[in-house]
Structure formats: structure tokens, C-alpha cells
């Protein structure tokens, strides 16, 4: 079952349960997926759907940050609840060990030894973690940290 079908069935369940927040979030997610489908003029594959869900979560995390800084805890809490609902549709995040192995493998494959090659290493590590829900910022921080250690050890 694809993401849109799963969301549609959960949307129906939310209507029956009269769960307003979940209903509104699922409607928003479904419309984002449908919009992208219309843009591409074909059904989305799971990877594309996953990327859209991750983008929606990233937007909400930024909103939480903004609302918290602006002193609007009520709106920040609402956004955090929306994040929790959307995250249920994402695959599991990689463990620390999996992420470490992917970063190490990407560094050794690319032969990177400085921050100049960071983009290539992040891309390679991301491909090794495909199918997992990856926090891009966390991944790039790990790669930067590892390449900095490597560069410091070299000089």
C-alpha cells in the first residue's frame, strides 16, 4: 500500500473518530502528496513520498523553533503534535551505529580527508542509509565532525 492510500484510510478512520487535529494533518499531508503527483504528472514512488513527508516535518520543526522564540508555546505545541502524527508514516531512523558505519564507509569509499569533500561524503552516506528516515542536519554534522577529526589527525 502506497503512502497516499495509507493516509486516505487513516483519514477515514480519523473522520469516524472525530479526531480533528489528526484529520487536519492527514488532509494537509495528502494534499502535499497529491500536489507533487500533479507536478510530476505521474504517481509518486515511495522515496519521493518519503522526501515530501520529511520536508513537511522539517517545516514544522522550524515553525516550532520560531513559535518558541516568539513566546507562542500553544502554537509550538500544536506543531510538535503535527510532527508526531507525520512521523508515524516515516520508516525507522538509523541507529547511531548504522549512521556511524555509513559515514565511515562513505569516507573510505570517497577517500575524503577534508571538509572540501563533505558534499560527496554526505551524498554517499545518504545512499547507504536509503529506506531509513534520515535527519539531514544530523548526518551532515556527523560527517563534518568525522572529516574534521580526520583532517586534524593528518596534519
Q: What per-residue confidence (pLDDT) applies to 146?
A: 86
Cα 91 to Cα 47: distance, rounded to the nearest angstrom: 11
Give the separation between CA 5 and CA 8, rounded to whole angstroms. Answer: 5
Residues 129 and 102: beta-carbon distance below 8 Å: yes
Q: What is the pTM of this model?
A: 0.72
Instruction: Note the pLDDT of residue 154.
Output: 59
Predicted local confidence at residue 62, as pLDDT: 95
Predicted local distance difference test score (pLDDT) of residue 114: 76
Rounded Cα distance between 61 and 43, Å, is: 27
What are the per-10-residue average pLDDT scores of the chain (155 residues)?
A: 88 95 95 94 88 92 95 95 93 84 86 81 84 80 85 65
- Name 6's Cβ contacts closer than 8 Å, sequence gap at least 6: 89
Report the phi/psi class of residue 146: left, alpha or beta, with left for phi > 0 and alpha for psi in -120 to 50.
Answer: alpha
* pLDDT recorded at residue 140: 86
Q: Where are the domains of the chain?
A: 3-87, 96-154
pLDDT given at position 155: 45
**pLDDT of amino acid 3:** 86
Fold of 96-154: Arc Repressor Mutant, subunit A (1.10.10)
The hierarchical CATH code for the domain 3-87 is: 1.10.1510.10
Residue 152's pLDDT is: 76
Same topology, domains 3-87 and 96-154? Answer is: no
Reading the block at residue 67, the C-alpha cell is 513559535
Question: How far is 14 from 27, CA to CA, in rounded Å?
Answer: 10
Amino acid at each position: 500500500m502506497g503512502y497516499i492510500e495509507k493516509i486516505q484510510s487513516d483519514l477515514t478512520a480519523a473522520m469516524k473518530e472525530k479526531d480533528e487535529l489528526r484529520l487536519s494533518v492527514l488532509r494537509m499531508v495528502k494534499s502535499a502528496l497529491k500536489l507533487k503527483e500533479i507536478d510530476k504528472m505521474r504517481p509518486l514512488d515511495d522515496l519521493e513520498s518519503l522526501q515530501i513527508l520529511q520536508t513537511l516535518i522539517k517545516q514544522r520543526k522550524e515553525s516550532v523553533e520560531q513559535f518558541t522564540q516568539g513566546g507562542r508555546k500553544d502554537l509550538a505545541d500544536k506543531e510538535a503534535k503535527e510532527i508526531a502524527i507525520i512521523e508515524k508514516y516515516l520508516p525507522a531512523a538509523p541507529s547511531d551505529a548504522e549512521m556511524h558505519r555509513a559515514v565511515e564507509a562513505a569516507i573510505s569509499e570517497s577517500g575524503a580527508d577534508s571538509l572540501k569533500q563533505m558534499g560527496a561524503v554526505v551524498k554517499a552516506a545518504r545512499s547507504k542509509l536509503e529506506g531509513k528516515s534520515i535527519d539531514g542536519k544530523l548526518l551532515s554534522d556527523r560527517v563534518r565532525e568525522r572529516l574534521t577529526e580526520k583532517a586534524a589527525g593528518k596534519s
